[in-house]
Structure 1
Amino acid sequence: MKKCVVIGILTLCLFLTLFTIPNNGNNDFGNEIIDNKNARDISINKYMEGFKNQYKNPMNIMLVPLDNRPSSTYYGEKIGRISRINILMPPVKIIGGKTTRGNVEEIEKWVRENANKVDSFIISATMLNHGGLMHSRNYTDDYYDSKVYDFQLIKDIKTQYPEKKIYLYDTIQRLAGSVWTIDDINNYKNILEWAELIDKADNFDDQRAKERIKFLKSVISKEYLNKYNIQRKLNHDLKLKMIELAEDGYVDYIIYSQEDAAEYGLHRLEQEELKNKIKTSGVEDKVKITCGADEIHMNLINLVIHEKYNTNSTFKINYSDDSKKDFVATFEDRPLEQTVKEHVEWFGGKIVEDNAEIEFYIYTPVEKMRMDMFISDITRALEEGKSVAIIDISYHDDKILFMKSLDEKIDLSKLATYSSWNTVSNMVGIGVSHAVSYNNLKNIKHNTRELEVHFNFLYERLIRDYIYDAIVRPEIIDILLSNGIDQYNIENENLEEVEQSITKKVNFYEEKLLGDFHNGKVDYKVKNITLPWQRMFDIKVEVANNKNKFK
């Protein structure tokens, strides 16, 4: 009897801990709620009620990822856990990797066996079609002669579970092929230039482009160019076929994301043909085209949450340099402002001028006085209790200067996110997704488990996107070059030593540059850094908090 009473009291305490809304006006982590005095476009009560239900009955989402890199798997899992979403993924051994295609037959089998356990599906068509992103760019006779994907899996799932939503995502092929080793760099550069210039020559009568193409065709092998063109057509035809799935009601949403591209190139015509078919098929509300690749599954997780709980996050976009709104970055095919707008709005977010929940700060290098003013604006937003996201589009010395200056003025651990990885689309998409997930937590009474995931992911972003990219990676690459080691394909015999060197250097810099995470209350430290694809571009960061205090 006493035992039952104790259990009952503990259960009641847990319930009150999870769902009692604080009203003490402070902004301490683990005990905060956004000030309701701000004008809102959503009903907070309805918003919180939805998430109370989510905390009682966590949603289960199946994710079939793009490949097995941390950015394709681990990041999405973190975004899910911050929002208390359970992310189910196939076993790593069948997802495949850099040199090995995903085992599509085994993945299909796993999906069928686990479909009854989830509420919705986020599925990479790139994985189903090609066995992963790297492999989607390179044609091999032995694979495609034996298999052209028919999407029967998707049809079967929707037929069996018509009430469960299916979200497909796929990449529009980038201009260049994949880089497996340093020997592929010349092909990468040449085919990238050729694919861009062929559009200028054929569709804009650019004479200089025509002359340059003659040279490029003399240095690109006919076999390589032929396989490249076959692969592009195969990719494009599969995307046209996927639109029929939306038209016939087998999928609820498709997102095509343009991987590394430019203002001109073969992708531009492919996009136009896709847009025309989307329009003539009457599925404009179901099929979207945007930019990016690695971040899309994270944004889709936000979309699932938005559609389930009507979580309409509002954003105010702040630029360090307003002239950069029209800037088309390297590997992008559209202006920065359009990239931001698309990544915010296609999952239900809204851009506003005032009273936004999320202040989105986009930094591109400016002179020191303007940088200091920008940092002052960030400081003000944090003091007002806003969710502050930093998208840092700077590199090397510019990044170090900005981050050191920012660290002098604010507590970095108070950020909703810091995002500066890879392309501008990746930066913006990851930043939007993390900021929205964090903001969801701020709008309800939450426990420390989800906060721990948020802090962990924020710290990883600062390590990966700032310390590693701006400082450690260049240092290690110089060492590799001096020792004749290929940074794109690090051999097994050198791998452990390289990983240990990276971890050691990161450990040296993290306490010096990220002191807000070593403040006596919390003590974050990188335990280990690995190179899952045995190249310097992709790292997996393992972080531990030695003090484990978040309140």
Structure 2
Amino acid sequence: MHTAISSGFRALLLIALCAAFLLPSVPSAPKGSAAAGRPLESRLLLVPLDGRPPCRQFVIDAGRIGGTDVMTPPSAIQDYYSQPGDTGRMRAWLMEQAGSADAIIVSIDQLLYGGLLAAREREAKKEDIEELAAFLCALRAAHPATPIYAFSILPRLMPQDTIDGYEERRDLIAYSRLVGKKAAGLPIDEAELACRKKAIPPGSLARYLAHFSENEAMSEQLIDLAEEGVLTRLVLGQDDGESYGIPNIEKNALADYIKAHGLTEKQVFLTHGADEIALTLLAAWKNEQTGFHPRVFLRCNDPSTAKNTMPYMAVSTGECAAEKIRLIGGTLADAPKDADLILAVSTNDSERDTLGSRAALADYIAKAAPETPIALVDLSRHFTAEETVLPQLLARSFPLHTLAAYAGWNTTSNALGTALAEGSIYLASPPASDKEARARAAENARFLDNRIFEDYFYLKNTIDAINRTLKKVGYENTADLDLTKNYRFANAMLQHAMRKDLAHYKKVPAFAAPFPVRRGKSAGELLRLHDAALDTSFPWPRTFEIHLEIIPSFR
């Protein structure tokens, strides 16, 4: 059974590189009658955090599951990697289109800086922030009845890329962690703190600290706009967090500011994560529309899972899960029988000898799935296929499309938010007809397969083979490729590898096994995948994320 890319496949990948250039374009495949004619009864405008698929395409695709047409700005004015988006034209597009929207989700980082990467590097003057606030007030005045959901990302612990000296970056990170521990009331080595501070060039330290103070002032102004009703809801996200650091000092100060103003989580919500926030806001809006408040039962692979803090996180997995459930308007259920959705979370760690828990969780999923929809969050501390649960389900010939959601992206907050949003949107509104129910199930199966192929097949397997090959042909930094030289080469490798995985996947019983068309928690008729094609490419000049679309055909 396929659990990882084998060494034989890696060898085949290397041999096939030249032939891969000659591969034809991906053939189009009909989605089948199950997905045809799905009515999109609502329209939502999205100004995404950036142009990567998790921030933009995921929201568009999930919108289709729930019958929402998600409109985004033209690609010509959006960001592309290190090139910021055109903030002026972005605001003009938003004002022009807002009249036809049922709701609006806007990234403050996109509207102010031109995207997440630009926000990490650029400084915003006070007048820039005031101008943005004035625009948001004008947008509200022009469309007083339209919900406006805004989100903004707090600066991460890592210094800006413009501070590029290895030693000063190392000292800044160590300094930030020590300051964070001290602020949390923990004992620290004061001599080391003084030594680290002295080693940092004053200009670099001032620029690093100014980034947080600038963002805190802007966030307070956004909180004021939420209090005034200009923003229907504001979400502040913490990107790539750690347990201790200066980012947590800012986050705690903002929490105090929110509390002092007596604001509820319906008005301002502090969360951990970034890329998944627009998707979770879509789910929250959909739940508000339909009056659906999902009751979610948390089932972990191991008793320690909820208390563990995974890489790039400032809080434990259990805290993050509870937070994401509240964000979409849900509550924690005490037992599976009381739940609309089971959130199955696995955070296996080969170094802590937890791999034996995978089989037990797979057995639980197989037994519970017929009764209650399950969203599987399949994480790995070391980002390896061997630590995941999916191979266990494949070995049991479990019908994967029975899952309401799947996510296994590297960051816990991203995966939790994505899986909960998908599962919630799928369950939120009862379909008006059998045809609509089939179409919704088909769209959910497509989204599910997209996540399985990116989060498992690509990120746990293929990415390493591609990175090694690129390095063998002279590209040392796969995080920043020279695509004028190797875009076709890299994409040919990606397409060849992923098509091999798809061909294998289509042969396993889990692929064609019938799965239920759900009407809320209850299951009705069965659908079955007949075939699938795949389209994939690198959306940015790096290998970390991919554009991926499974094109299924149903019977």
What TM-score comes out, normalization by structure 1 length? 0.82
- Change over 3 Å in CA distance of 1:327–1:401 after alignment to 2: closer
Q: Note if 1:469 corresponds to 2:446.
A: no
Deviations 1:455-506 (A, max 9, x none): 2211111110001111101111122223331111110211210111011112
Contact kept, 8 Å, 1:511 with 1:518, in 2: the verdict is no
Tell me if 1:158 matches 2:144.
no
The AA in structure 1 aligned to 2:331 is: K
Distance 1:145 1:169, change over 3 A: closer
1:307 equivalent in structure 2: 288
Out of 245, 253, 276, the position equivalent to 2:225 is 245
Question: 1 CA distance for matches of 2:373 and 2:328?
Answer: 18
The aligned counterpart of 1:499 is 491
Structure 2 distance, partners of 1:288, 1:367, is 33
CA distance in 2, matches of 1:184, 1:432: 40
Shift of 1:228: 2.2
Distance 1:521 1:432, change over 3 A: closer
The equivalent of 1:95 in structure 2 is 78
> Which residue of the partner structure matches residue 378 of structure 2?
392
CA distance in 2, matches of 1:217, 1:405: 52
Which one-letter code corresponds to 1:498 in the other structure? A
CA 1:316 to 1:456, structure 2 compared with 1: closer, same or farther past 3 Å?
same
Instruction: Say whether residues 1:511 and 2:503 are aligned partners.
Output: yes
Q: Take 2:121 and 2:332, find their aligned partners in 1: how far apart are those partners? A: 39
Where do 1:218-257 residues align within 5 Å? 218=199, 221-257=201-237
User: Quick one: distance in 2 between partners of 1:186 and 1:483?
Assistant: 30
Change (3 A) 1:376 1:144: same
- CA drift at 1:154: 1.2
Q: Where do residues 50-89 of structure 1 align in structure 2 (5 Å cutoff)? A: 58-89=41-72
Q: CA deviation at 1:263?
A: 1.3
Q: Displacement of 1:223 after TM fit?
A: 3.9
**For residue 434 of structure 1, what is the aligned residue in structure 2?**
422
Q: Quote the residue 2:243 is aligned against.
A: 263
1:339 to partner: Cα distance: 0.5
Q: Which whole-Å CA distance do the structure 1 matches of 2:400 and 2:238 have between them?
A: 32
Closer, same or farther: CA 114–236 of 1 in aligned 2, 3 Å: same
Counterpart CA distance in 2 for 1:188 and 1:97 is 26
Instruction: Summarize deviations over 1:303-331 as a string: whole Å, max 9, x none.
Output: 11111110112211100112121111221
1:188-337 paired onto structure 2 within 5 Å? 191-201=172-182, 204=185, 206-208=187-189, 210-211=191-192, 214-215=195-196, 218=199, 221-284=201-264, 285-337=266-318
Whether the aligned pair in 1 keeps the contact of 2:385 and 2:456 (CA below 8 Å) is no
Once structures 1 and 2 are overlaid, which stretch shifts more, 169-178 or 395-404?
A: 395-404
Q: CA–CA distance in 1 between the matches of 2:512 and 2:169?
A: 43
After superposition, what is the alpha-carbon deviation per residue over 1:70-122, rounded to whole angstroms, capped at 9, x for unaligned? Answer: 11100011111110011111112212122111111101111111111101111
Partner Cα separation in structure 2 for residue 380 and residue 221 of structure 1: 59
Unaligned 5+ segments in structure 2 are 1-31, 514-527
Residue identity opposite 2:402 in structure 1: K
1:170 to 2:152 alignment: yes
Residue among 469, 477, 488 paired with 2:479: 488
Alpha-carbon distance in structure 1 between the residues aligned to 2:58 and 2:166: 28
> Is the 1:201–1:209 contact (alpha carbons within 8 Å) kept by the matching residues of 2?
no
Matched, 1:104 2:87: yes
Q: Where does residue 350 of structure 1 map in the other structure?
A: 331
Gaps of 5+ in 1: 1-28, 32-54
Tell me, yes or no, if the aligned pair for 1:396 and 1:471 is still in contact at 8 Å. no
Of stretches 491-500 and 388-397 in structure 1, the one that deviates more from structure 2 is 388-397
CA distance 1:363–1:193, change in 2 (3 Å): same
Q: 1:489-547 CA distances to partner (integer Å, 9 max, x unpaired)?
A: 110211210111011112222332463336784222323x22222111121113222xx
Where does residue 525 of structure 1 map in the other structure?
A: 533
Deviation at residue 388 of structure 1 after TM alignment: 1.3
Identity of aligned residues (%): 21
**For 2:72 and 2:43, how far apart are their aligned partners in 1?**
11
Q: Distance in 2 between matches of 1:430 and 1:155?
A: 30
* Secondary structure in structure 1 of the residue aligned to 2:70: strand
